[in-house]
Amino acid sequence: MDLNLDGARAIVTGGSRGIGLAVARGLLAEGAKVALAARGEQRLAAAAETLRGDVLTIPADTTDDASVRAMADQVVRAWGGVDVLVNAAAQPSFASAPAALADLAEGDVQADFDTKVLGYLRCARAVAPHMAAQGWGRIVNVSGLNARRTGSLSGTIRNVAVAALTANLADELGPHGIGVTVVHPGLVETERTAGLVAARARETGSTPERVRADLAATTSLRRLITAAEVADVIVFLSSRRATAIVGDAVSVAGGHRGVVHY
């Protein structure tokens, strides 16, 4: 299937590793131009060296509105506009065991919210006028399955908020031809997974093998999906082929056992 992304101008935040980098690779394979945005300049450069195609690297901090607007302006100056935005700049929820209420620091919750929810909002706000001017665009927000389950107070708050942000943006921007969707990955196999699993094993007194097996058992496939498999879905949602999918959430986690969605 031709996704009609040849020549499309895309911004991928959190693009220096993990899902963001996999999405960039997938978009480039479809002929798109990709601007990788992340805070670490050296990591961005290293990521770009692994890619083939028309790539810009833009150091940007999504918690800083001026930085976000400068990022969007740089892409528009280079390519004349923006067609696709993939918001993927956020700290993984699995990075540490969720804190109990008594130990939960307000600052940590605020930082999560500022980075993921307000960061996604800032990026959408910066690119939306350019998309509206041309009458078309796609925005895909990477959230997570914590939106659909308890266990991480901060993770649930931020991911539910991203879903709510997505639905509101979809209603406002839809008449301008801009489709906004959200995807909910679970724990995904990336370059950070082994370290995260090892850390969780130390925190729980388990073994990495047991932690990984327990996580895999929560999926319908009985395995963790890869960043490339998540990226395949996001690349499709970034295309004109996905025009009819707007405002909705798509789970890309290999199935969530024991839960019925309708």
The verdict on 183 and 201 lying in the same domain is no
The verdict on 143 and 205 lying in the same domain is no
The verdict on 44 and 146 lying in the same domain is yes
Mean pLDDT of 213-227: 92
The verdict on 24 and 81 lying in the same domain is yes
The verdict on 43 and 103 lying in the same domain is yes
The verdict on 53 and 149 lying in the same domain is yes
The verdict on 161 and 205 lying in the same domain is no
The three-state (H, E, C) secondary structure of 23-49, written as one string = HHHHHHHCCCEEEEEECCHHHHHHHHH
Do the domain assignments include residue 53? yes
Instruction: Output the pLDDT for position 97.
Output: 63
Mean pLDDT of 62-71: 98
Determine contact, residues 164/116, Cβ cutoff 8 Å.
no
Q: pLDDT tens digits for 104-133?
A: 788 888 888 899 999 999 999 999 999 999
Structural domains of the chain, count: 2
Q: Which domain holds residue 212?
A: 191-225
The verdict on 170 and 64 lying in the same domain is yes
Q: Give the number of other Cβ atoms within 10 Å of residue 215's Cβ.
A: 17
Do the domain assignments include residue 208? yes
Is-above-0.85 flag for pTM? yes
Q: pLDDT tens digits for 167-176?
A: 999 999 999 9
Confidence of residue 96 (pLDDT cuts 50, 70, 90): low
CATH number at residue 156: 3.40.50.720
The verdict on 218 and 162 lying in the same domain is no
- On the question of pLDDT at 95 being above 70, the answer is no
Determine contact, residues 86/20, Cβ cutoff 8 Å.
yes
- Four-point Cα dihedral 38, 6, 165, 196, nearest 10: -40
The verdict on 91 and 20 lying in the same domain is yes
Do the domain assignments include residue 2? no
| CB-neighbour burial class of residue 107 (10 A; exposed 0-12, middle 13-18, buried 19+) | exposed
Instruction: Output the pLDDT for position 66.
Output: 98
